[in-house]
């Protein structure tokens, strides 16, 4: 939607082909339906560090349309925004439809033609216009400008739609996404087309995906969220990775931003054996400080039973406190003033290191985004054009770029879509 609207804004005649019966199905479920449209990190270098190895490729695109320009764009479109935890930016309305409606208005304002219920089955590149049977008529264009003044040796793209229709275009932008949340139509269709014309595509896999675990006590806490937890992963007693942030207990295991951002590495580790996810519920306090906190808690509640006192220790909600009591092996009915030093120190160790056995990653239907995609070395990021076919542009999740949760995926889409639309739209000046 961003790419189509931008190309049309620059004067291109644009046709947007959509396989679903409506636009924006995936956009409308982002951020739990609230649409985390970007992250308020305005230092582009720091922002792109979150993209790991893919970040170095993105500087030229972000120099044209970064977080600042994105917020200016949406504010101009009437979308008021607010900044929440971890610099996540949401519409003030708290509803993804606000963002969708703004983009739809942008398309209509710039007279983008939208074709729904039209799954593309194939794309043919660099066809001589005088060799195609439909070249004598008007040439429709998807995400580019329409101009019937093509010379016989001009190259065109042929977009084949499932109903048998063929659309001829001077330029094509592919923004079909990856393979996450396939119920939205995101089934990786573009990868097959791109492989066929010679692009290298790294096999997509679920990324930013919740983790199923083996421990039943975790599942009993479904719905509980903790805002500030330190997470470490271990394999064969060796620490692999650490992270800190919000986690959510679910009926199958663990989710939340901090877990999602570690999911790909956990998935890789699971290929080689058991993975332990360790939770530190008090990351800002060392063992000594936490021991003193427990001493104070037990002193204030000296006559209370252990099972009734622990839930007063933030962030332990009643359900989690009960699980901790069971792990501690301390008799739940023991009065706090009877808990020994050894028992208290053992409890400190548990609160700083709760082991959870990872089982598997959930599938693409639960993933926020997918990893894999078109090789970045085959893209000119100044224009988002293919290095194999200069009249082909790529944007969004179809690119092989890892990123964390927190507004980074949508910002990638806004930036690459805007640059692809700008480049294809600006270059459409055909003289008589």
Same domain, 238 and 162: no
Confidence at residue 368, expressed as pLDDT on a 0 to 100 scale: 86
The answer to whether the peptide bond before residue 315 is cis (omega within 30 degrees of 0) is: yes
Confidence at residue 44, expressed as pLDDT on a 0 to 100 scale: 97
Task: Tell me how far CA of residue 396 lies from CA of 159, 216, 418, in angstroms.
Answer: 20, 38, 10
d(CA 148, CA 408): 40
d(CA 251, CA 390): 48
In a domain, 432, yes or no: no
Same domain, 350 and 392: no
In a domain, 431, yes or no: no
HSE-up (13 A, CA, CB side) for residue 117 = 2
Q: Phi, psi at residue 233, to the nearest 5°?
A: -110, 145
Confidence at residue 53, expressed as pLDDT on a 0 to 100 scale: 85
CATH code, domain with 252: 1.10.8.50
Confidence at residue 367, expressed as pLDDT on a 0 to 100 scale: 87
Same domain, 45 and 178: yes
Task: Tell me how far CA of residue 298 lies from CA of 122, 140, 295, in angstroms.
Answer: 69, 76, 5
Same domain, 254 and 150: no
Q: Which of the listed residues 313, 337, 362 is the one where a domain comes to its end?
A: 362
Maximum alpha-carbon separation in the chain:
94
Task: Tell me how far CA of residue 66 lies from CA of 56, 409, 419, 427, in angstroms.
Answer: 14, 13, 10, 22
Q: Coil, helix or strand for 33?
A: helix
Task: Tell me how far CA of residue 47 lies from CA of 39, 41, 58, in angstroms.
Answer: 8, 6, 10
In a domain, 430, yes or no: no
Number of domains in the chain: 2
Segment-wise mean pLDDT, segments of 10 residues, the chain, 432 residues = 98 96 96 96 97 94 98 98 96 98 98 97 78 42 40 73 91 95 93 96 92 96 94 97 96 96 94 98 96 96 92 79 93 95 97 97 88 96 97 97 94 98 76 26
Q: Which of the listed residues 319, 343, 362 is the one where a domain comes to its end?
A: 362
Same domain, 25 and 117: yes
Beta strands in 66-119 (DSSP E): 81-83, 88-91, 113-115
Same domain, 160 and 135: yes
d(CA 35, CA 259): 19
Beta bridge partners of 374: 201, 399
d(CA 415, CA 395): 8
Q: Which of the listed residues 362, 396, 416 is the one where a domain comes to its end?
A: 362
d(CA 385, CA 395): 9
Same domain, 36 and 124: yes
Domain of residue 327, residue span:
210-362
Same domain, 409 and 280: no
Same domain, 128 and 188: yes
CATH code, domain with 136: 3.50.50.60
Confidence at residue 173, expressed as pLDDT on a 0 to 100 scale: 98
In a domain, 232, yes or no: yes
Same domain, 86 and 172: yes
Same domain, 276 and 310: yes
Confidence at residue 328, expressed as pLDDT on a 0 to 100 scale: 94
In a domain, 279, yes or no: yes
Nearest Cα to 397, choosing from 374, 367, 422, 419? 374
Same domain, 293 and 332: yes
Nearest Cα to 384, choosing from 414, 424, 411, 425? 424
CA 42, 44, 50: angle at the middle one, nearest 5?
Answer: 105
Contact between 36 and 410 under an 8 Å Cβ cutoff? The reply is: yes
d(CA 245, CA 103): 31
């Amino acid at each position: 939607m961003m790419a189509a609207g931008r190309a049309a804004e620059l004067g291109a005649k644009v046709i947007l082909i959509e396989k679903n019966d409506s636009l924006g199905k995936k956009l409308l479920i982002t951020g739990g339906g609230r649409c985390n449209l970007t992250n308020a990190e305005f230092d582009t270098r720091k922002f792109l560090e979150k993209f790991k190895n893919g970040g170095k490729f993105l500087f030229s695109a972000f120099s044209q349309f970064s977080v600042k320009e994105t917020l200016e764009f949406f504010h101009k479109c009437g979308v008021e925004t607010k900044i929440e935890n971890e610099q996540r930016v949401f519409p003030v309305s708290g509803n993804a439809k606000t963002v969708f409606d703004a983009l739809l208005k942008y398309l209509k304002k710039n007279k983008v033609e939208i074709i729904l219920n039209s799954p593309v089955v194939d794309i043919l590149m660099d066809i001589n216009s005088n060799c195609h049977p439909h070249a004598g008529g008007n040439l429709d264009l998807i995400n580019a400008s329409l101009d019937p003044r093509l010379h016989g040796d001009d190259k065109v793209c042929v977009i084949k739609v499932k109903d048998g229709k063929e659309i001829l275009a001077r330029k094509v932008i592919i923004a079909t996404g990856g393979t996450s949340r396939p119920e939205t139509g995101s089934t990786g269709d573009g990868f097959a087309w791109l492989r066929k014309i010679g692009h290298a595509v790294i096999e997509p896999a679920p990324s930013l995906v919740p983790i199923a675990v083996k421990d039943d006590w975790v599942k009993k806490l479904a719905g509980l969220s903790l805002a500030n937890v330190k997470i470490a992963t271990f394999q064969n007693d060796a620490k692999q990775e650490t992270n800190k942030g919000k986690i959510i207990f679910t009926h199958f295991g663990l989710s939340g931003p901090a877990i999602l951002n570690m999911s790909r590495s956990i998935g890789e580790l699971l290929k080689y054996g058991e993975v332990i996810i360790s939770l530190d519920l008090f990351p800002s306090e060392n063992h000594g400080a936490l021991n003193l906190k427990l001493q104070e808690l037990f002193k204030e509640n000296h006559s209370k039973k252990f099972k009734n006192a622990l839930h007063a220790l933030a962030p332990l909600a009643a359900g989690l406190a009960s699980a901790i009591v069971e792990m501690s092996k301390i008799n739940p009915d023991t009065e706090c003033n009877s808990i020994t030093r050894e028992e208290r120190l053992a409890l400190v160790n548990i609160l700083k290191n709760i082991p959870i056995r990872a089982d598997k990653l959930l599938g693409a239907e639960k993933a926020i985004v997918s990893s894999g995609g078109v090789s970045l070395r085959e893209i000119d990021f100044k224009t988002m054009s293919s290095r194999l076919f200069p009249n082909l542009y790529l944007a969004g999740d179809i690119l092989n770029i890892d990123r964390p949760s927190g507004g980074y995926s949508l910002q990638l889409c806004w930036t690459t879509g805007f640059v692809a639309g700008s480049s294809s739209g600006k270059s459409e000046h055909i003289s008589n």
